[in-house]
A and B are shown apart, each in its own frame.
Chain A
Amino acid sequence: MHGPGEVEVSRRGLLVGGAASVAAGAVSAPADAQRAPAAPKPAMAKVSFEVNGRRQSLEVDTRTTLLDALREHLKLTGSKKGCDQGQCGACTVIVDGRRINSCLSLAVMHEGDRITTVEGLGTPDKLHPMQAAFVRHDGYQCGYCTPGQICSAVSVLEEIRAGIPSHVSADLTAAPALTAAEMRERMSGNICRCGAYSNIIEAMADVAGAKA
């Protein structure tokens, strides 16, 4: 609404207003690569956490995401970088029992945390039941999204068991049911470009002992 009580704003007026507010430091300065001063030096910080049961101590550039620390520093390349923006779920790992997007978290924020990646769920000789079910049900094609899908799937079954409701739970005050609709909604943060969705739900239902 360019409406009631609003004065006509000229482009120049906005320029002046903008510059003044930046000078006053009222809010964070706008990004402007051209006007930016020379880049400051990277800051390093130490962090220790446990990954798949092993204690790890790292010294990282503070900008390092948890995903990059896992992949580039610890060479655990199971967790994938799909979008680096929280939009695809390929980077999903389990931190202190909860699934998160490791691309939108800084490594230095995880001091003392317990992190589980797809490599920590099971091994090729001793697969986690969810890993085995993905193999049995063809829960993938190219496999790029799969480590994130598996970490998410394991957490989703725990979230339903813990009674956490979802967007499709009909009754907010009742315990959520182990249905395909519930699993599908809760897996919406994991995108699969190959479209393996229906087999992923079959695999989850198999592990949960539910009907897909």
Chain B
Amino acid sequence: MRPFTYSRAKSPAEAAAEAASAPGAKFIAGGTNLLDLMKLEIETPSHLIDVQDLKLDRIEPTAEGGLRIGALVRNTDLAADARVRRDYGVLSRALLAGASGQLRNKATTAGNLLQRTRCPYFYDTNQPCNKRQPGSGCSAIGGFSRQLAVIGSSKACIATHPGDMAIAMRVLDATVETVDPKGQTRAIPMADFHRLPGETPHIDTNLKAGELITAVTLPKPLGGKHFYHKERDRASYAFALVSVAAVVQPDGRGRVAFGGVAHKPWRVEAAEAAMPQGAKAVTGATFAGAAPTPENAFKLTLAERALGAVLAQARA
């Protein structure tokens, strides 16, 4: 790990301003992803701004009948919140399917959204990787790509967003609230928060330098049955190969987003109209134009079957 100085910010605006004034600064929340990457010198901040004192750890109702989740609410607390369990079950389920009890006790809402890919070559600093070292090449293309993206990827990078929480937030049409170093606030729809890799795979999201996430808001509850179905190599404590976040209404209509398949939560609203016709119709349209590798083409079949299982459960 490279040496760094450390400070604790007192307010969101102060944290963002400090991030802009100290070159090489990064925020640290739970530390469960950042410290891992710092040990490997994949992340090399020279200054850490600890955000734990910002009092962004509350979940409050909004005037529109939704919920405003503070950026520092722990994954355990968000999953266990009575309102989330009752009205946004897909979000509780997604959180509980991720990581371990210990990690969820530390992991925060903002940190979870910003967790970096689990592409094996991103983690192996001896291998070329455009995301870790722009311009060095992509070792995963033609390499071990079983875990990686089947759609939305580019010739520069086929990594996935590895998280579960963001997939549920995408299906719920959540919004990410931020404050920048000048004190300006803005709201970013989940659909526009994560980026596709394109030619700049080293940039995961549309956050600007020094911009601090303050909250994630959920619109008013959708009703319906909520599902988060995660397929992985072991029954617990593993990242998704494919996951399905779905909200299904009594008439069979609904919403669905997929995880483990792209550089961002993958949702194609136009394909959702086919939900009453069954899984094949939906995944056919959702994954039109997919470009899997020979190693991960199975994910397309898996996505269809996983959605099929969810729709069968919804009818039961």
Contacts and interface: CB of A to CB of B under 8 A. Distances in A.
B35 A104 contact: yes
A155 B5 CA distance: 33
Contact of B103 (A11, A62, A101, A172): A101
A11 B135 contact: yes
Given A104-B36, A188-B237, A9 B155 contact: yes
A28 B24 contact: yes
A29 B44 CA distance: 8
Interface in A107-123: 108-109
Contacts of B42: 31
A139 B31 CA distance: 31
B5 A99 contact: no
Interface stretch (A48-56, A85-93, A127-135, A203-211): A85-93
Interface in B131-165: 132-135, 137, 151-156
A109 B31 contact: yes
A86 B98 CA distance: 13
Main secondary structure on chain B at its contact with chain A? loop
A9 B151 contact: no
Nearest to B25: A28
A22, A63, A101, A152 pick with most chain B CB within 10 angstroms: A101
Interface string A61-80: 11101000000000000000
Contact of B76 (A33, A39, A164): A164
Nearest to A12: B135
B154 A2 contact: yes
A116 to B, nearest CB: 14
Nearest to B98: A167
Interface of B: 1-6, 23-24, 26, 28, 30-32, 35-36, 39-46, 48, 50, 52, 76, 79-80, 82, 85-86, 89, 92-93, 96-97, 99-103, 105-106, 125, 130, 132-135, 137, 151-156, 198-200, 202-203, 209, 235-237, 289-291
